[in-house]
Amino acid sequence: MKVIHSSDWHLGRSLYQRKRYEEFELFLAWLLETLINEQADVLIVAGDIFDTGTPSNRAQELYYRFLRDVSKTPCRHVVLVAGNHDSPSFLDAPKTVLKALDVHVIGTARDNPADEVVVLYGQSGHPEVIICAVPYLRDRDIRTVEAGESLEEKNRRMIDGVKSHYDAVCATAVAMKTAFENEGSGSVPIIGTGHLFAAGGQTVDGDGVRELYVGSLAHVGCDLFPPSMEYLALGHLHVPQIVGGKDHIRYSGSPIPMGFGEAHQQKLLCAISFESGNRTIREIAIPLFQRLERISGDLEKITETLTNLVAKGESIWVEIEYRGTEVVPHLRELVDGIVENSSVEVLRLGNRRTYDRGLTKSKDDTNLEDLEPMDVFLRCCGELKIEQAQQDELKTVYAELLRSVMEQDLMAQ
């Protein structure tokens, strides 16, 4: 039994208004080849299949065409759970049809924990693996609101709710595992999924991971997860990583760089093999489908670096941050002249001129649509000179409001 763990595709995502459908298409084609070459039995995608709750027609086409093509590979099962970016109702809507292709979709937490347990059978008809397919857990899924509760009490109840949910789902899976093994089915591993922020998880600047989507939910510790799970396939963080030093609890990370902060990060899939009761985990490197580069410095550095990139003749998307002391009134025209008739495309040009007194005045040409709501909020706090201690508290409250509004929007779609 071989399982491939992926997550955070974010189909339909743009980078500074630049559509990325070609990258997504190349990745999915490569993934199909990988499923064949690895002779994989199961593919797990741990949330954030789409970038928004209302994906474009082209993003949907990529998704459904991929699921159709998987049925032509040795991979017999696909398990998909929703992430915080996904619309639960959108993912769940075609689940009955997709099940005919052995595609199992869990868009929202179920009232009955057994409904999140997916048993995958082999060609012989015997159970091969049990999946605790836990999706992104929204506030309403794991706790009840009590009047007058403090933020600390709310955090504690949310953590308790997550733990109780996993305990209930895994208890059902363990009962099934025991029954199968008593029937002579041999060792049947239990694999869990999750879309959350694990304590100690690593992020990078510009990776698109939105803390506001989990609101004030504290980062979940590894000790929360039941030990009955022999592998835990996590999504939400875009950096591939092992969690808490436990080799079997992993984020596969996003398959393509979601921002310029990930420009030189090696993207991965996780391949998990079970044989004769033994588990092995291996990382598979994902090719780079579109090169990204970030340039920051004075005019001389920007000019030299950009000229060298143009000379390479590759398709490169660039983010530039000017941080020189001199005024460059026609910076955009200078940059455009260097990259003209080349394969280099400047997606963003920021101008943050540094003054001699050691102060930095922001003169950023970033468009409002390039910023996250939290970015705008924090900029407003800075302009109003709100003390840092108060900013931290206001950030938590504002994140909670945004999370509630966005969850309501997703549930309404």
Task: Look at residue 220 in the predicted model and tell me its pLDDT.
Answer: 79
pLDDT-derived band of residue 380, with 50, 70 and 90 as boundaries?
confident
3-state SS, residue 134 = coil
pLDDT-derived band of residue 366, with 50, 70 and 90 as boundaries?
low
Q: What is the pLDDT of residues 71-111, one digit of tens each?
A: 999 999 999 999 999 999 999 999 999 999 999 999 999 98
Contact 96, 107 (CB under 8 A): no
Task: Look at residue 404 in the predicted model and tell me its pLDDT.
Answer: 66
Residue with tokens 């980078």: 15
pLDDT exceeds 50 at position 113: yes
Q: What is the pLDDT of residues 187-229, one digit of tens each?
A: 899 999 999 988 766 776 655 555 433 444 457 788 889 999 9
Tell me the mean pLDDT in the region 36-55: 95
pLDDT exceeds 90 at position 167: yes
Torsion of Cα atoms, 337 then 342 then 348 then 349, to 10°: -20
pLDDT exceeds 90 at position 150: no
Distance, in Å, from the CA atom of 309 to the CA atom of 342, rounded to the nearest integer, reads: 10
Q: Higher confidence at residue 407 or residue 150?
A: 150
Between strands 14-15 and 18-19, the pairing is antiparallel
pLDDT exceeds 60 at position 275: yes
Task: Look at residue 351 in the predicted model and tell me its pLDDT.
Answer: 79
Contact 77, 104 (CB under 8 A): yes
CB contact set of 320 (below 8 Å; sequence gap of 6+): 294, 295, 296, 302, 306, 335, 346, 348, 349, 350
Contact 298, 35 (CB under 8 A): no
Q: What is the pLDDT of residues 385-396, one digit of tens each?
A: 787 767 777 777
Neighbours of 369 (CB within 10 A): 8
pLDDT exceeds 50 at position 357: no
* Cα-Cα-Cα-Cα dihedral sign, residues 355, 356, 360, 366: positive
Q: Higher confidence at residue 133 or residue 276?
A: 133
Phi–psi pair at 159, nearest 5 degrees: -60, -45
Q: 3-state DSSP: the chain helix, strand, coil percent, rounded to 5?
A: 35, 25, 40
Q: What is the pLDDT of residues 255-266, one digit of tens each?
A: 999 999 898 999
Query: Which domains, and CATH codes, for the chain?
Result: 2-285 (3.60.21.10), 292-412 (3.30.160.720)
Distance, in Å, from the CA atom of 33 to the CA atom of 42, rounded to the nearest integer, reads: 14
Q: What is the pLDDT of residues 329-350, one digit of tens each?
A: 889 999 999 999 999 999 999 8
pLDDT exceeds 90 at position 9: yes
Task: Look at residue 213 in the predicted model and tell me its pLDDT.
Answer: 36
Most confident listed range (15-29, 156-170, 194-208): 15-29
pTM, to two decimals: 0.82
Distance, in Å, from the CA atom of 84 to the CA atom of 196, rounded to the nearest integer, reads: 9
3-state SS, residue 117 = strand
Average pLDDT score, the chain: 86
Which residue type is seen at 214? Answer: V
Q: Which of 11-15, 302-306, 374-378 has the lowest mean pLDDT?
A: 374-378
pLDDT-derived band of residue 146, with 50, 70 and 90 as boundaries?
low
Q: Number of C-alpha atoms within 13 angstroms, CB side, residue 344? A: 23
Tell me the mean pLDDT in the region 30-44: 97
Task: Look at residue 409 in the predicted model and tell me its pLDDT.
Answer: 58
Neighbours of 395 (CB within 10 A): 17
Distance, in Å, from the CA atom of 88 to the CA atom of 105, rounded to the nearest integer, reads: 10
Task: Look at residue 353 in the predicted model and tell me its pLDDT.
Answer: 61
Contact 195, 254 (CB under 8 A): no
**% residues pLDDT > 70 (the chain):** 85
Between strands 316-322 and 77-81, the pairing is unpaired
User: Phi/psi class of residue 215: alpha, beta or left (left: φ > 0; alpha: ψ in -120 to 50)?
Assistant: left
CA-to-CA separations, 219 to 123, 132, 235, 247, 388, in angstroms, rounded: 40, 20, 14, 19, 22
